[in-house]
Amino acid sequence: MGGRAVSHAPLEELTSWDADWSGLRVVVAGLGLTGFSAADTLIELGARVVVVDGTDSAENRARADTLRIVGAADVLLGPDGAEHLATVDGGEPELVIASPGWNPRHPVLAAADDAGIPVWGDVELAWRVRGRAGRKSAEWLVITGTNGKTTTVGMVESMLRAAGLRAVAVGNVGTPILDAIRDPEGYDVLAVELSSFQLHFTHTLSPLASVVLNVAEDHVDWHGSPESYLAAKAKIYARTRVAAIYNAEQRETERMVEEADVVEGCRAIGFTTGVPAPSMLGVVEGLLVDRAFIEDRRTSAAELASLEDLGEAVPRHTAANALAAAALVRAYGVEPRAVRDGLRAFDPGEHRIQAVARRGDILWINDSKATNPHAAAASLGAFSSVVWIAGGLSKGVEYAELVAAHAARLRGVVLIGADSSGLREALRRHAPDVPVIEAGVRETGRETTPESGPTRGRAVMVDAVAAAAGMARAGDTVLMAPAAASMDQFASYAHRGNAFIEAVRGLMGDHTT
């Protein structure tokens, strides 16, 4: 395709805010928070921008109006605009920015790949523009994993702030990373949560320290295979400069570090919920200890915190997350006292093994963030007798191993989700004596309500909570840990969790915790 002449530097030279971005033709795929921040940044840099998004909503139209006001941007909303690779200023784009969640097989991204046009994510763009004359350039501590990312990035942020540093959690959680990069005051450190989607489109990131918390089958539908999913996760270790941190209890993460092309001098640091070897962090007699970032690590350990600093009855995976967070900040140079103070100040938030109510010696737990079998396994393993509310959008994963491992602790199961056939079949095969009820379905097989979408989801959750109450006995835990995504019946995992909380409160009146 033709197009007007441009004056920007070659893409490989666009490695700072002060590089010559003027006239670069860019398509931004997606107009959510991430896509908006990417488009806004590129406009400020002087690029020519076209944004495409398949959803023509009032929110997207408002964002489009804002972009048109601040600079040179065209916005194409609706299915027609997102079916093919748009032109920019009458010419083929030279770069595409993909919002998280946009599948590489999407027509826009597939067309870019076929044409040999580079595709970056917002994280790649942020890394390239992080350096700016006259402003502080923050160090990056980066976190990924199948589960525990948001908890760990929050712990890192809390520890850094306890050390007196200006820090913020960004990326797949909280503040869009490009907004943090453009903050006028700047930051000392960014705690960066990265999903496998974001890592797929990241190419030159070189963080101070990195960690893969854990890996389990997830997002197979997006990546195409378990191997591709793991490969995306492993990209986080590439070019790490100081510490590549791995889960010593999961060989897959250690292998990722062994195979990573890190900067010379980068150390491999393990974490374990058992007694740590040298160059590891771990647990000794209820204490979180460091045998990695101390001088005499062969014969001694530095006390960082106690398990009690994390709260009561700490699940194993929470201790693991705290150790991973501690390893990241210790790699930066944070003192042990700030690790402890940060953990004490940390608020884990809602929807992650959240106690909702206790009545008649029955505990009700909301773990709506357990969106895959690995996360649900961590929840199920924390309780001895469970009425399990589960099901939803499976994302192509298998449930046999999960059900087989925890069948003995199941009092009963209540299924939610538009199609929970995979989970139902796993229960039939591996927990045949456990009673199973499908929420929203009576003995006639007819649904209790005709609504769809969010309203339907609320009605199903009310039914699920009532069914679980009928199954539960004194000493049981009613655990809503779906092991599946929420979008089939709810707007998000938070919407699903709130529906559970509301249904429990409706059942019990004021007897909630």
**Residues annotated within a binding site for ATP:** 145-151
492, 336 contact by CB (below 8 A): no
* Contact status, residue 212 vs residue 144, Cβ threshold 8 Å: yes
465/439 Cα distance (integer angstroms): 9
Name the one residue in this structure whose structure tokens are 């001098």.
265
What are residue 446's phi and psi, to 5 degrees?
A: -90, 140
Closest CA to 329 of 362, 288, 368: 288
* End-to-end alpha carbon distance in the chain: 63
Tell the residue number behind the tokens 């006995």, with chain if given: 473
Kindly write down the DSSP assignment for every residue of 445-500, as one continuous string. S-BS----HHHHHHHHHHHHHHHHHHH--TT-EEEE--SSBSTTTSSSHHHHHHHH
Strand order in the sheet with 477-480: 354-359, 362-366, 477-480, 386-390, 410-415, 436-438
Cα distances from 18 to residues 13, 97, 187, 440, in angstroms, run 11, 19, 18, 58
Binding site membership: which residues? Answer: 145-151
Q: CB within 8 A of 466, min separation 6: which ones? A: 503, 507
- Altogether, the residues listed in the chain come to a count of 513
Phi, psi of 279 (to 5 degrees): 65, 25
Query: How buried is 510 (Cβ within 10 angstroms: 0-12 exposed, 13-18 middle, 19+ buried)?
Result: exposed
β-bridge mates for residue 191, sequence order: 141, 169
What are the E-state strand segments in 223-301?
243-247, 267-271, 280-284, 287-290
